[in-house]
Amino acid sequence: MKKPRRYTIEQFINSEGIRGNSIAYDDGSILYSSDRTGIYNAYAVSVEGGEPEQLTASETESVFSLSFFPQDKRVLYHSDRGGNELMHIYLRDEQGKVTDLTPGEKVRTEFYGWSHDDSCFFFGSNARDPKATDVMRCDAKTLETATVFADDGSNRFGAISPDQQLLALVKPNTSTDSDIWLHDLSSGKSRNLTSHQGEVRNYALFFSPDGNHLYYLTDKDSEYMWLCRYCLKEDKHEKVLEADWDIALASLSNTGRYMVVAINNDSRTEVRVYDNSTGKQVELPGLPAGDVTALTVSRSEKLLSFYVSSSRHPANLWVYNLETGKARQLTDTLNKDIDPDDLVEAEVVRYPARDGLDIPAVYYKPLDASQDNMAPALVWVHGGPGGQSRVGYNPLLQYLANHGYAIIAVNNRGSSGYGKTFFSMADKKHGEADLADCIDSKDYLQATGHIDGDKIGIIGGSYGGYMVLAAMAFTPEEFAVGVDIFGVSNWVRTLASIPPWWESMRQALYTKIGNPETEEEYLRSISPLFHASNINRPLLVLQGENDPRVLKVESDEIVEAVRANDVPVEYVVFDDEGHGFSKKANQIRGFSAVREFLDSYLK
């Protein structure tokens, strides 16, 4: 048994978080975002390594890089206001001047990508109608924008053909059923490419560079998503690739020589790169153990850039030269004060639910936990509903494990990644069937022989925060404490006030959880707020002031209701955050509050 060195929350948060990945037109540098200054800003790093160049210097709003321009080093990035999710697209030119390309107080945009000929980029905008996301085009030279397709609020963008004449749109019907429609921009006519019986998910991905095929994901006749393509000339569908798990993503390089596929392999990401000129898989030697994610092929098809991460190490940016076969690490994100040997290697485990169903989970065992040193434990519930806990670096979970808390990150029924039957098992049973799976994880924890069964709490964010409140309200004796991070307390209000830009997903949410117009009584029955008088254990609540998904009133009211029970309640509100805490100062404050609360009421 190893006794690890204990680290402060400041040391954990002073590791670097990075995201985004765009290779410059000349293969000389890579664009990404980093929070090294305490807030996300855009950076460019040479493919030869070295100190990155900081491109933006925001001190208030996070900057999330999107893309280099395809023929110069102008940069596109996203940013909102205080976490309100009203993302705008900004242009930073090569002299450092910044322009908001999508102005408007209530405008929300989504970046879709560049045209095949590099003449423009496409994006979604709800400027015309808050509930609809129109497909827009921005000219690379003039920066003038034009509407490509006016949405009615029922579609999600899929792909646009290389000649910019065909638009693939996804129409969600329920959370487990969707269709792909092909819209001809010249004639204005649309047709359903995936007409089917029963529940089948279909998601458009991209057109082939020659425009002859549309690639898409489907779970037709399968528990898992597989890769298919539709041949436009022959009007037929062809299977491309199937795996034992969901194929989560796929893409083709500029000429179509390389195909990148990401597989959701039992809470880990498995990436495959295929050379279509040989039909063989490209090996990526020289990489450390861990997940490879966000893999991008340069326009020249000479370079791959990607992230490598593990449960004991945050993501690092790497580049791989396809011509020389050499890989290079470009960032070193773990705080140098932290020895990764003091951190916990997450383990994928399974345990039986009370009805015999195997429940997958990710387990973090403190290094010094043993029969002679029994540890307190936390059941971590992911967001969603329909999310998934995965093996990867989580600073909060590592911080807690480093200070002696065991964590089991439960993938209860209703989670994604384990087949469509498993995904649907909690529909209209939230706060019941999924909660039972969380409670049943306690048996696994106690069977390890190193967990104190009287000191098990529950923690989670968003839907996971709802599960915390549900556990405290509906099974008040099961968990010693609860930590609710922006969780839903009143489903009637939350579902009636979903952000307007979620309009295309409204029916899918209603099918999965309930319709506030026709099922109010049921939704009240699963809403912790209306059963808060049952809560008798200590509760911590964290909330962003500007959260558009789970409104602050959800947390205000549950805190007030539980305080009326004369139960210890602590409440932390961040006035410059939304649905998640992106600023380092806020993470330090919030995560410190979590540990102080647990040390007071669980240890």
- Reported as a single tens digit per residue, the pLDDT across 523-578 is 999 999 999 999 999 999 999 999 999 999 999 999 999 999 999 999 999 999 99
pLDDT per position as a tens digit, 14-64: 999 999 999 999 999 999 999 999 999 999 999 999 999 999 999 999 999
133 vs 504, residue with greater confidence: 133
pLDDT per position as a tens digit, 167-179: 999 999 988 999 9
Task: Pick the closest to residue 90 from 106, 119, 70, 69 (CA basis).
Answer: 69
Is residue 1 predicted with pLDDT exceeding 80? Answer: no
The pLDDT-based confidence of 333 (bands split at 50, 70, 90) is very high
CATH topology of domain 17-147: Neuraminidase (2.120.10)
Task: Pick the closest to residue 254 from 214, 299, 314 (CA basis).
Answer: 299
pLDDT per position as a tens digit, 444-484: 999 999 999 999 999 999 999 999 999 999 999 999 999 99
DSSP string, 295-326: EEE-TTSSEEEEEEEETTEEEEEEEEETTTTE
Task: Pick the closest to residue 212 from 241, 236, 186, 233 (CA basis).
Answer: 233
Strand order in the sheet with 268-275: 246-252, 258-265, 268-275, 280-281
Distance CA 393, CA 473 (A): 31
Task: Pick the closest to residue 82 from 580, 462, 550, 501 (CA basis).
Answer: 580
Distance CA 146, CA 387 (A): 35
The H-or-E segment that residue 555 falls in is helix 552-563
258 exposure class (CB count in 10 Å sphere: 0-12, 13-18, 19+): buried
Q: CA 97 → CA 75, 76, 91, 489, distances in Å?
A: 10, 12, 8, 44
Distance CA 426, CA 404 (A): 32
pTM of the predicted model as reported, rounded to 2 decimal places: 0.96
So what's the pLDDT on residue 286? 87
* Amino acid at the residue 316: N
Task: Pick the closest to residue 464 from 430, 499, 420, 421 (CA basis).
Answer: 430
So what's the pLDDT on residue 508? 87
Q: CA 84 → CA 108, 123, 172, 498, 548, distances in Å?
A: 10, 19, 24, 13, 6
User: Please, where are the H alpha helices in 381-462?
Assistant: 395-402, 420-424, 433-447
CATH topology of domain 343-601: Rossmann fold (3.40.50)
DSSP string, 47-62: TT-SPPEE----SSS-
Which residue is listed with tokens 């996301």?
Answer: 133
Q: Quick one: the chain helix, strand, coil %, rounded to 5?
A: 20, 35, 45
The pLDDT-based confidence of 507 (bands split at 50, 70, 90) is confident
310: which strand partners?
313
Is residue 193 predicted with pLDDT exceeding 90? Answer: yes
Q: CA 583 → CA 184, 254, 393, 521, distances in Å?
A: 43, 36, 17, 39
* Amino acid at the residue 179: D
DSSP string, 172-215: EEETTEEEEEEEETTT--EEES---SS---EEEEEE-TTSSEEE
Strand order in the sheet with 236-241: 202-207, 213-218, 226-231, 236-241
Domain residue limits, the chain? 17-147, 343-601
